[in-house]
Amino acid sequence: MRALALLMIVVAAFLVVRWLGPAPDPVEAGETAMEATADGQGASFLPPPARPGEAGSGSPATPAGAPAAAASEAPPPAEAPAFLPSRASAAGELEAARALAHGTPAEVQAAAGGLAPERALLLEAFAWAVAGERQMAHALAAKLERDEVPERERALLQAALEGKSVVAAGAAGATPTELAMEMALLAREAQAALAAREYPAAAQAFSSLLVAELEAPFEPDAAALARWTEGLDQAQLEYRWNPRAPWPGVEVSVESGDSLISIRKRYLATRPEARLCTGLIERSNRLSGVLQPGQKLRIPSSPVRVVVDLEARWLLYFLGEEVAAAWPVGIGRPGEDTPPGEYTAIEKTERPSWMKVGQEPIPFGDPRNPLGTRWIGWAHQGGKTTYGFHGTKDPGSIGRADSDGCVRLLNEDVEELFQILPEGAPIQVRW
């Protein structure tokens, strides 16, 4: 009986100690701080990162004197948020940025599928805002933790939600995602300016878009380039190619007996460094018919240059720092690649013959002549080359690498370039 009584006393003592002792460590019990969000639902997005030892952070504090191994398991400080794109692969981030610059919300959602959930949420919210679906965009943006969105991206998202504009695209140091967001906002702004007949603003916005696209780290999008080129053409028709618009220029008066050739010579006599052709005067003033004494003409004072982007297969014609015209092009096929470099426009020829070294010239109109209706030769470091711009009898070759090394355009496009590109104008060909 004594043994039974002693055993009962020991059991009772054990139960008292168990009841009154400290609770087991929740981490040791298998609980995690990420099993629920503040609203009690399953965690879809990461909560704000906690400072070590901060109360109410959703993660247990590290006790004083704890081993270093335990301290290393604490969440990172708030200054290094987990939201940054380093959580996703660079390739995935780049593809998502490309979709953001060019695509629909559905395309952005598909491209962002491989990113961290909170990263995808930001891009989807922005895409819906730019598309005009503000209610959807606000609902998604409300799920984001403000302090975890990088500052520049937060400002761009806010601009999209509020319908605000941006100054330009391609600011120094911009990430691919920031650049894509800027471009998406600028595209919306360009279309709005065009619809409102604010042609100088629309022209500048489309110009910035085309430049940004060719300099972006993601692959150029031919459909976007075509769409923005069409918008540029509509805007510039009423701006750079309208003599009544406020573009930089010099006014001259037509004198008795004047022709465009004599006006060009008189202008260049006082500005020998300028590059000017009669076609540029004609196009800028919408001339048709005979000049009249006393007639006022305007001559563009902005310098002309051309950039050919071989990767995008697109040509930009600049007046100053603004794209005044743009066209798709075809380039040299493998083994006959168009060489990048700095060139100068020379030898503009209508209805050109075609010749290859060691062969007889093939006249214009011969089925074997691939040059189309115009030829603009290139010089390099003062010497004539075999390369140039020309038209084509094969419109399907535009956008492809199909030529013998020259840059080809549709005949109607090369005729326009021929009209407004002065001999001596610089040409940059680049990848």
Element (H, E) at 374: strand 374-380
- Please state whether beta strands 426-430 and 341-350 pair in parallel, antiparallel, or not at all (unpaired): antiparallel
Cα–Cα dist 394/411, whole Å: 10
> Which positions are catalytic?
390, 406
The confidence score (pLDDT) of residue 148 equals 80
Nearest to 169 by CA among 102, 85, 88: 102
What does the alpha-carbon distance between residue 209 and residue 187 come to, in Å, rounded to a whole number?
7
145: DSSP letter = -
Vertex 112: Cα angle to 109 and 114 (nearest 5) = 130
Question: How far is residue 41's CA from residue 32's CA, in Å, rounded to a whole number?
Answer: 14
The pTM of the full predicted model, rounded to 2 decimals, is 0.79
Specify the pLDDT at position 168.
64
Identify the pLDDT of residue 20.
41
Q: Tokens standing for 214?
A: 């060719």
Q: What is the pLDDT along the chain (431 residues), one digit of tens a residue?
A: 444 444 444 444 444 334 444 443 433 333 332 233 333 333 332 333 333 333 333 333 333 333 333 333 444 444 434 444 444 468 889 999 999 999 999 999 999 998 989 999 999 999 999 999 999 999 999 999 888 889 999 999 999 999 887 766 666 778 999 999 999 999 999 999 999 999 999 999 999 999 999 999 999 999 999 999 999 999 999 999 999 999 999 999 999 999 999 999 999 999 999 999 999 999 999 998 899 999 999 999 999 999 999 999 999 999 999 999 999 999 999 999 999 999 999 999 999 999 877 788 999 999 999 999 999 999 999 999 999 999 999 999 999 999 999 999 999 999 999 999 999 999 999 99
Nearest to 329 by CA among 229, 413, 216: 413
Taking the CB of residue 274, how many other CB atoms lie within 10 A of it?
17
Residue 127 pLDDT: 97
Q: What share of the chain is helix, strand, coil (3-state, %, to 5)?
A: 40, 15, 45
Backbone angles phi, psi at 177, to 5 degrees: -70, -45
Q: Which pLDDT value is given to residue 318?
A: 98
Q: What is the residue whose two structure tokens read 């430049």?
A: 211
Q: CA-CA distance, 331 to 68, in Å (whole number)?
A: 62
Question: Cβ(396)–Cβ(372) under 8 Å?
Answer: no
> Could you tell me the domains of the chain?
87-237 (no CATH), 249-300 (3.10.350.10), 305-430 (2.40.440.10)
